[in-house]
Structure 1
Amino acid sequence: MRNIVLLAPNGQVGFELVRALVPLGTVFTLSRSDVDFADTPAVVAKVSALAPDIIVNAAAWTAVDKAETEREAAFLVNAALPSALATVAQQHKAWLVHYSSDYVYPGNGTTPWQETDATGPLSVYGESKLAGDNAVMANCDKHLIFRTSWVYAARGNNFMRTMLKLALSREALNVVADQIGAPTPARLIAQVTALALQQAVLAGNNATALSGVYHLAPKGHCSWYEFAGEIFCLARQQGMGLALKPEQFKAITTADYPTPAQRPANSRLNLTRLEHTFNLQLPEWQQQLAVTFAELTAE
C-alpha cells in the first residue's frame, strides 16, 4: 500500500483531496495544527518520517493583497515549502503534486496561456507561486504541477459564497467585468489530481515522461461579473429570496475597484496538454458551478 502525505487537508482543495486520494493508498494528513508550514525543517522531518510514496501539497499563502506587504511570509509557504518538499520527494523517489496559479502569467492579451509561454507575475503572490513552481521542477524528477484559476468550493471563503451572501443582504452590487478566467471548483482539482496520479504511478519506469506543468480548469471562460450572474441565476432557480435587484447588479472595470495587488486581466488557460496527456475530458465551467452550488444548498 502506498503512503500518501497530504498537506493542508482542511482547506478547500485539501478537503476534496482527502476523499479523492483514498483509493490510491493510505492518506496521512498534516494540517497547520500539526506543523507550522513556514517552518520547513519541521515539515521535512514530519513528511520524511511517513516514508512517502506520494506527497500532495495543498498548502498555500492565498492572501493575494496581503502578500504585497508580507512578502517574506508569502514566499515561505509558496516557495520555500514546495522547495523543501521537492527535496524530500526526490530522496524518497516519491511523486510530488503541487498547485500553482494563473497569477504566474502577465495577464495580457486574450489568447489562453500555454504551459510553455513566458511567465511574468504582476504581484508578489504571483512571484511567490512561480518561485515554488521553479523549485519543484529543479529539485524533484517526479512532479505534477497544476496551474489553476479562480478556485471555489461549497465550503471555505471564496467568490461563490461571498457573492451569494452579498446578494442575500444587499440591493445593489458592482462586480469587475474586465478580468477573464475559468472558475475552478476544488472538487474538480481533486478528481483530476487522483486520475493523473493513478496514471503516473502505473507508468512505472516511464513515469518521469508525465512530469511537468499542467493547466487544470474547466472549459470555457467568463468575467467575474458573468460568474456572479450565473450564481445569482442558480440562486433564483432554487427559490432563494435575493435582496439584490437585477437592475442594481452592475459591471465595473478593474480601475473602478483598485486593489493592492494587480490582477491579471487574461487568466484563460489552454487545457490541451492535460487532456491529451492523461486522456481526460474536462467539463464546462457552468456545469461545474451548478454541481457545486447544489452541494452548497444541500448543506
Structure 2
Amino acid sequence: MGDKLCLLVPGGTGQLGTDLAALASDTVSVRAAGSAELDITSAGSVIEAVSALADEAQASGSRAVVINAAAYTAVDAAESDEERAFAVNADGPRVLAAACSSRRVPLVHVSTDYVFPGDADRPYQPDDPLGPRSAYGRTKAAGEDAVLGSGASAWIVRTGWVYGLTGKNFVRTMMRLESERDTLSVVDDQRGAPTWSADLAAGLLELARAIAAGQGPRQRVLHCTGGGETTWFGFARAIFGHLGADPERVRPCTSAEFPSPVERPAYSVLSADAWRAAGLAPLRDWDEALTAYFEALRSAAVR
C-alpha cells in the first residue's frame, strides 16, 4: 500500500466540507458529498458510498478514510425538531460507522462543544463528563456514543465556534449587521475559541493522514479548535476592526437580555492537550486565524 489517501466527506458541501475538499484536492482523491448526493441516514446510500471508497482505495493501492462533516447544526430549530436532529446527528453516524466497520475503513467523526454542560472554569478535556443541555447537544452526544460503540476504527474530533468563507456563521452575520446597524449588542458572558473551518480542515487532514499511515492516536476522542479564547462580544469587536469599522459600535450584553429556546454553553473552551500529545499540530490562535480569514475573503473578492 502507498501513502496516497482516498477520502469520503459526507457533508461535503457545508463550510467545513468545502474547505476539506479544497485543501485535499491537490494531494488526495476526495469525494465531498452533500446531503442530496449522500444522505447518511440512508443505509443503502451509505453502504454503497463506503464500499465504493474501499474498492477505489484497494484498486489504487491507497488508504481509505471517511471524515464525517454531515450534521444537523440548526441549534434553535433542534429544540422543536429533535427527531430530525437525532436522525442526522445520531442515527446517521451509527449507519456510517457500521458501514466503515464492515469494510474496515477508518472514520473521523466531527462533534461539538455542546456535548458539555458549559459550566467549567478551565478548558474541557476529551474525557471530562458530558452533560448536554440542548437538543442539539444531546443528539451530538448520542452520535459520539454510536460511533465509539460501533466497532469501527473511529475517532471523535470535537470543535466549536466554527466559521468559514461559505454558509451561515457568526462572522458573516456580523459583517451583514455592521452594514445595517449603527450599534449592536453581543453577549459577553459566553466564552469559547473561534475556529476557522479552513484551519480545522487542515487539522482533520493531518489526522486522516496519520491514521492512513497506521499512526492514528491511541486516544479516540480529541479536541481541535482555534487557540486562545474570547467571548462573542470580543469576537464581534475583532471582526469590526477587520472591517475597518469602529469596534465601540459593538456593545456588551448578557445572555439573559436575549431570551432563547436553547441554553447555550457559557464556557466552551476545549483543551488541545490530547491533540498535541498525539503529535498533531495545534491550530493557530483565533485572532491570527481571523486575520488570515479576512485576507482570504479579500482575495476571493478580487478574483
Q: Tell me whether the two structures share a fold, i.e. TM-score over 0.5.
A: yes
Cα distance in 2 for partners of 1:198, 1:100 equals 19
Q: Which amino acid aligns with 1:217?
A: T
Cα distance in 2 for partners of 1:211, 1:111 equals 21
Q: Which amino acid aligns with 1:221?
A: E
**Residue 263 of structure 1 aligns with which residue?**
264
**Residue 229 of structure 1 aligns with which residue?**
237
SS of aligned partner of 2:75: coil
Shift of 1:248: 4.2
Normalised by the length of structure 2, the TM-score is: 0.90
**Residue 216 of structure 1 aligns with which residue?**
224
Q: Which amino acid aligns with 1:138?
A: G
Q: Which amino acid aligns with 2:125?
A: Q
Shift of 1:138: 0.8
**Residue 125 of structure 1 aligns with which residue?**
136
Normalised by the length of structure 1, the TM-score is: 0.91
Kindly tell me the number of residue pairs found equivalent between the two proteins: 289
**Residue 168 of structure 2 aligns with which residue?**
157
**Residue 83 of structure 2 aligns with which residue?**
72
Cα distance in 2 for partners of 1:57, 1:246 equals 37
Q: Which amino acid aligns with 1:8?
A: G
Q: Which amino acid aligns with 2:235?
A: F
| Aligned match for 2:49, one of 46, 51, 69 | 46
Deviations 1:76-118 (A, max 9, x none): 1101111111111111111101100000000003211000100
Deviations 1:4-61 (A, max 9, x none): 2111221100011102333664212322221334334333333323326211111110
Cα distance in 1 for partners of 2:219, 2:47 equals 22
**Residue 6 of structure 1 aligns with which residue?**
9
| Aligned match for 2:204, one of 182, 186, 193 | 193
**Residue 61 of structure 2 aligns with which residue?**
none
Cα distance in 1 for partners of 2:154, 2:23 equals 18
Q: Which amino acid aligns with 2:29?
A: T
Cα distance in 1 for partners of 2:82, 2:43 equals 17
**Residue 239 of structure 1 aligns with which residue?**
none
Cα distance in 1 for partners of 2:25, 2:219 equals 22
8 Å contact from structure 2 (residues 65, 107) kept in 1: yes
| Aligned match for 1:35, one of 33, 38, 56 | 38
Cα distance in 2 for partners of 1:144, 1:278 equals 15
Q: Which amino acid aligns with 2:259?
A: P
Cα distance in 2 for partners of 1:86, 1:36 equals 14
Q: For structure 1, which runs of at least 5 residues remain unmatched after alignment?
A: 237-241
8 Å contact from structure 1 (residues 13, 187) kept in 2: yes
SS of aligned partner of 1:65: helix
SS of aligned partner of 2:207: helix
Shift of 1:269: 0.8
Shift of 1:247: 4.6
Q: Which amino acid aligns with 1:121?
A: P
| Aligned match for 1:62, one of 61, 73, 90 | 73
| Aligned match for 1:113, one of 106, 121, 124 | 124
Cα distance in 2 for partners of 1:265, 1:234 equals 26
Cα distance in 2 for partners of 1:138, 1:246 equals 47
SS of aligned partner of 2:149: helix
Is 2:90 aligned against 1:89? Answer: no
Q: For structure 2, which runs of at least 5 residues remain unmatched after alignment?
A: 58-63
Cα distance in 2 for partners of 1:96, 1:173 equals 42
Cα distance in 2 for partners of 1:175, 1:281 equals 28
Task: Sort the Cα spacing of 1:109 and 1:246 in 2 relative to 1 into closer, same or farther, 3 A.
Answer: same
SS of aligned partner of 1:278: coil
8 Å contact from structure 1 (residues 108, 266) kept in 2: yes
Two-structure CA RMSD over aligned residues (Å): 1.8
**Residue 148 of structure 2 aligns with which residue?**
137
8 Å contact from structure 1 (residues 177, 253) kept in 2: yes
Shift of 1:246: 5.0
Deviations 1:107-152 (A, max 9, x none): 0032110001000000000001011111111114421211001000
Shift of 1:297: 2.5
Cα distance in 1 for partners of 2:126, 2:221 equals 6
8 Å contact from structure 2 (residues 50, 103) kept in 1: no
Q: Which amino acid aligns with 2:195?
A: T
**Residue 275 of structure 2 aligns with which residue?**
274
